[in-house]
């Protein structure tokens, strides 16, 4: 299923309760959806921020046992990006709040 198709399905489904969403994530996983596709579904079905969709998905019964591996993979990808882009990065701003950590990366002008 393409990204556009997942978004269309998510938006056409009625907004789900926590329990119904948990069941839907199990159904999606059984149907072959990967975790990122489930996060996309949650983001658009629940009309929430990407960070919230990720938290809902990785804490669901469908994906809870894979949370640690997913978060490790995300951290590795972030480090790979930072290493690959180090010459283009002007600055990085990291903010910690009760809602979590936010990282802003400012890229140098190419002109």
* Neighbour count for residue 33 (Cβ, 10 Å): 18
Give the position of tokens 């996983």. Answer: 29
What proportion of the chain, given as a percentage, has pLDDT over 70?
95
What is the pTM assigned to this prediction? 0.70
Q: Tell me if 104 sits within 8 A of 93, measured CB to CB.
A: yes
Per DSSP, helices labelled H in 1-111 are 3-12, 18-30, 35-46, 50-58, 67-84
Q: What is the pLDDT of residue 23?
A: 96
Regions of the chain with pLDDT less than 50: none
Quick one: pLDDT at residue 7? 92
Q: Are 82 and 89 in contact (CB under 8 A)?
A: yes
Tracing tokens 């119904």 back to the chain, one arrives at: 20
DSSP 49: -
pLDDT at 99: 67
**Residue-level pLDDT at 68:** 80
């Amino acid at each position: 299923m393409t990204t556009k198709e997942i978004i269309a399905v998510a938006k056409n489904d009625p907004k789900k309760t926590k329990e119904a969403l948990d069941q839907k994530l199990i159904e999606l996983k059984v149907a072959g959806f990967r975790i990122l596709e489930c996060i996309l579904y949650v983001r658009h079905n629940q009309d929430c921020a990407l960070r919230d969709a990720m938290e809902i998905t990785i804490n669901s019964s469908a994906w809870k046992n894979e949370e640690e591996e997913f978060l490790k993979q995300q951290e590795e990808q972030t480090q790979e990006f930072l290493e690959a882009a180090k010459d283009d990065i002007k600055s990085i701003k990291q903010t910690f709040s009760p809602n979590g950590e936010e990282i802003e990366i400012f890229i140098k002008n190419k002109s």
